[in-house]
Structure 1
């Protein structure tokens, strides 16, 4: 966004539409294109029918472009409103012969969806052309791109809960202006997908219909978030291919996958994992839950323990904030280290109600 004055609203919770224009032309009459951006998506969280749902595209990037003498120029840029996807794309200066708004699959520089690792190109499309100020009404994301905007919109819920009071970045390890960008690669025709590409690109790779599940989006983002919380470091994971929610793998696999499961469920306010076909798997379990292996090598046991520690009536104060604080300064190779060593060092309980919780999920330290 060079050459324009941008005031980031990420630092104040992405509270509305961001507009920028050329201050040198402050005396000119503003020209504005207004409207609301919406996208439709197949809602796996609603069940296997996956109904087509339409909702606002919140905090999504837009650019106002103008054409003069056959030359297209970017005039201003901003983000859609958090409440209803509204945009107010304005500039002040010489009238352009043609104006339009370009919408991009990103939210400021905090997260983006690109087409491939090599092209780095975001999905984008243009509004109708006008010759002056106009209301564009409701602008809808083309059907072929709707899943890209679903990813952009879904990541809002994780960003809002990230517990970083010190900067606009994902974690307090980085200062505003020096944030890492969470990058998703999505291609409808991509078969090699459904993973966080660590340690190569560190992008999340999704394909086909996988973005239909918000849990899948947030689970993979959870891996990236853990890497960020650990200062771009990550546990050495073994015995994780394949891995299943209710089956034993390894302590490192159960810790990282269980954390990612818990991230998705916590961000969405539920207690399950939802697949892109609309089928769901409850994370609720106890010592006698049929078909479940036991102990801290089971990702579902770890994930549910975390969710109960963070629960409204749990021992950590009703949210995950203290765990995020802990992970911003302490590296845990597995759940045992997190619970037995790092929680006490951070002033979090590893006895009493906390110990009762993990024992209820068959983890007995």
Structure 2
């Protein structure tokens, strides 16, 4: 949800491949001093269901920032020797300093961020979460640290960092400008950064705050990838619209199946669709593992029309579907939102889709009819 107020120098290839690093992994490690391993985190997996969400599961942290730090002489100061991101698929890191050593001290520090594109900070500290591997002494050659696990009180931060990869990859795929940023409104190296605030003891959250431009989560919210990506979807809409807000009155509570307002249903329906599309399903999952199925038709006992967020979210998912009228993805839709500020779903479908060359008849119209939206 949105917390509503009273009206008043990276490349896409680098971040997507996970190869952004100052260490050439193909080089002969005999000429370097390296620490290798895999960054992991324990977490509650709400997507696995209510019972499974009570237990901890372990996952790898993809595209997370690491820094190789140490001393190059016994009397020297600790300094930054190399930096990069963990692998995009398996969370591994290969952190190397030039020279075979020995180095008096060497360790890796991890930060709850991914390049300068997204980060997680504490609500009180306003800084990223960090932790370090054990400090090795008199280090030579390549040293495998094995699985390096984030501290228990930070696990939600790493879950957020890891989950946002699923949305960024979809956004980057739709960004035809060649910029590494979330949208083509910025150039590489000058990207807007998505910031989440979270803590293991946070009791306030579950919304995107237009004032601070941060997503605010309470502790349990980080259990759900859908919840994380839904709130990130609000930020993404704000970015696609060039920092223009969408008026969404009457949005307190905003149930999926009941009438609110056209503006509320548009913003919340889009955010629901962002999460489901990023994860490849058709639902919304709460932090406790319960979920809501977004499938619906004219016989589903929901309110009808384009002031119901579930009707809009499901319509968007069907338009973006592999065999859907928008070409099998959301790419053309994202370009439309970059060029046009739709105040509600009606304007989006009847006025802005024709401008973007997207269909509004035949299969597209049938999708809306199936979800009780008639124009």
Structure 2 partner of 1:191:
203
Q: 1:314 aligns with which of 321, 324, 328?
A: 324
Q: Deviations over 1:84-137 (max 9, x none)?
A: 111111112575421110011000001000002x63210110001112142111
- Choose which of 215, 219, 222 in structure 2 pairs with 1:211: 222
Alignment check: 8 A CA contact 2:46 2:290 kept: yes
Q: Is the 8 A contact 1:9 1:15 kept in 2?
A: no
Determine the structure 1 residue equivalent to 2:69: 65
- Equivalent residue number for residue 36 of structure 2: 34
1:54 equivalent in alignment to 2:65: no
Q: Larger relative CO (CA 8 A, sep 6+): 1 or 2?
A: 2
How has the CA–CA distance of structure 1 residues 235 and 272 changed in structure 2, closer, same or farther, with 3 Å as cutoff?
A: same
1:96-115 residue pairs with structure 2 within 5 A? 96-115=103-122
- How far 1:52 sits from its partner (Å)? 2.2
How many residues align? The count is: 352
The answer for the alignment partner of 2:85 in structure 1 is 79
Distance of 1:180 and 1:47 partners within structure 2? 34
**Separation of aligned partners in 1, 2:116 and 2:84:** 11
Is the 2:46–2:285 Cα contact (8 Å) retained in structure 1?
Answer: yes
Q: Is the 8 A contact 1:17 1:88 kept in 2?
A: no
Question: In structure 1, how many angstroms separate the alpha carbons of the residues matched to 2:270 and 2:305?
Answer: 15
The answer for the alignment partner of 1:179 in structure 2 is 191
Question: In structure 2, what is the Cα distance between the partners aligned to 1:333 and 1:148?
Answer: 33
Q: CA deviation at 1:183?
A: 0.4
Contact 1:19 1:90 in 2 (8 A): no
Structure-to-structure mapping, 1:208-357, within 5 angstroms = 208-290=219-301, 292-357=302-367
1:186 Cα deviation from its structure 2 partner: 0.3
Deviations 1:283-342 (A, max 9, x none): 01111112x111111000110010111111211111111100101111100000000000
2:147 to 138, 143, 167: 138
| Whole-Å separation in 2 of the counterparts to 1:70 and 1:126 | 20
TM superposition score normalised by structure 2: 0.90
TM-score calculated relative to the size of structure 1 = 0.92
Q: Distance in 2 between matches of 1:16 and 1:312?
A: 27
**Structure 1's 248 and 242: CA in aligned 2 closer, same or farther, altered over 3 A?**
same
Q: Structure 1 stretches of 5 or more lacking a match?
A: 1-6, 22-27
Maintained 8 Å contact 2:109/2:132:
yes
Q: 1:11–1:167: 8 Å Cα contact kept in structure 2? A: no
**Offset at 1:152?**
0.5
Q: Does 1:158 align with 2:162?
A: no
Q: Distance in 2 between matches of 1:18 and 1:342?
A: 38
Of residues 138-147 and 252-261 in structure 1, the stretch that sits farther from structure 2 once superposed is 138-147
